[in-house]
Structure 1
């Protein structure tokens, strides 16, 4: 069980890191291309990107902390409810688990035996898992997720800012655009790998979101040139 908890915690931190980096790439590319549409002054463009990076770091970290904390609070409430249910009507919880196993095709005798063995070992974990789909022993660390986002957001933001800074004026918008799309494809693919989703679809979805964001912000910025 400890290994399962460590794996879940590690995956949660990796997820937060990947999503933080993804948001850093997408958000800051939108900001700097929007400003690039309004001015050719690279100092102004990078200053806007730097300000957006500072804001994004705090925003992403706090968002992760609140999200994971809220999930933890909800799980704690469910665990408390289920503890009371076992104390007041153990047989009802036993019957629920046994019936659930029978509904997926397990014979009555085998379902009863399996339920008894698991309930005897840990009734709370068994009933919480079967009723609500999670283990009360799987506690996620909100601070770790927040720290991962706080660090990965500026790392993601660095890519579009470097592309904008290092590329000659004539080509910097298109080079930044292409560099961002490549990075978004990688983060979309990585996030899907962690979540078990379709990697190709996730990468394409991320690319489309990036294209839309950068085109819209650049077009709006161009109105003020």
Structure 2
């Protein structure tokens, strides 16, 4: 009888770290820069002032996204490191108890007591800390926090997302600038929602509607505030 050959599967969970940061950064780049442009444009300022505001928003936003993502994911990484250090001390202090603990986890999942003991013993013989990290703490290579990767992905994607609204300012006549920026931003947000959903294995239609509705609300609110302040300052 021919034995089945092992095969390697690529699971979507392996993308979660960089995918979340990239999609969040791109959406924020489009939405925050587009909203900023619409708010400034609603105040009836010149096209050069609108462009300058957009560029400033792009630079500040990209740096803020990178810093925020790095700090956030670094906190997660520190927590993981602390848990692993504690687990390492427990393994060094009482390996037999840790082996029993690991076996109990498998028993709780439906594995027989005898088989669970064998699995725990073999896994700990190979790499005790890795076995406990995955089964007890839920830490693996696929889900491990990577602060620098998340920060770079977030900043780069924000920059890419913010470029389109700025490009619309450059190529659009002042009379239709707001409409062009709003329309292009909504289309791009819908596309990003679909892309993020497809890469993450989620429903594309729901993601597109969700991000488009919230994007439209954010841009309308910012434009309204800009219009009110523009009138007030002119008075």
TM-score relative to the length of structure 1? 0.87
Pick the aligned partner of 1:114 from 103, 119, 129. 119
How many residues in Structure 1 have an aligned counterpart in Structure 2? 221
**Mapped contact 1:12–1:140 kept (Cα < 8 A):** yes
**1:16: how far off?**
2.7
Larger Rg: 2
- Matched residues in 2 for 1:138 and 1:170: separation? 48
**Mapped contact 2:14–2:142 kept (Cα < 8 A):** no
**1:137: how far off?**
9.3
1:151-190 maps to which residues of 2 (within 5 A)? 151-190=156-195
- Matched residues in 2 for 1:150 and 1:193: separation? 22
**Mapped contact 1:79–1:136 kept (Cα < 8 A):** no
RMSD, aligned CA? 2.5
Q: Please name the residue that 1:67 is paired with.
A: 72
- Matched residues in 1 for 2:58 and 2:19: separation? 20
Q: Please name the residue that 1:129 is paired with.
A: 134
**1:77: how far off?**
0.5
**Mapped contact 1:11–1:194 kept (Cα < 8 A):** no
Pick the aligned partner of 2:149 from 139, 144, 149. 144
**Mapped contact 1:75–1:136 kept (Cα < 8 A):** no
Question: 1:91-143 CA deviation, whole Å, 9 max, x = no partner?
Answer: 22222221221222222222222222111111111112111101379754423
Question: 1:206-225 CA deviation, whole Å, 9 max, x = no partner?
Answer: 11221111000001111123
Q: Which runs of 5+ in 2 are unaligned?
A: 1-7
Q: Could you list the structure 1 runs, at least 4 aligned residues long, displaced by more than 4 angstroms after superposition.
A: 7-11, 136-140
Pick the aligned partner of 2:93 from 80, 85, 88. 88
**Mapped contact 1:8–1:140 kept (Cα < 8 A):** no
SS of the residue aligned with 2:162?
helix
- Matched residues in 1 for 2:143 and 2:92: separation? 22
**Is residue 2:34 matched to residue 1:29?**
yes
- Tell me whether 146-155 or 27-36 shows the greater mean CA deviation: 146-155
Aligned pair in 2 of structure 1 residues 188, 136: CA closer, same or farther (>3 Å)?
closer
Pick the aligned partner of 1:41 from 31, 46, 56. 46
- Tell me whether 134-143 or 209-218 shows the greater mean CA deviation: 134-143
Aligned pair in 2 of structure 1 residues 137, 221: CA closer, same or farther (>3 Å)?
closer
- Tell me whether 26-35 or 202-211 shows the greater mean CA deviation: 202-211
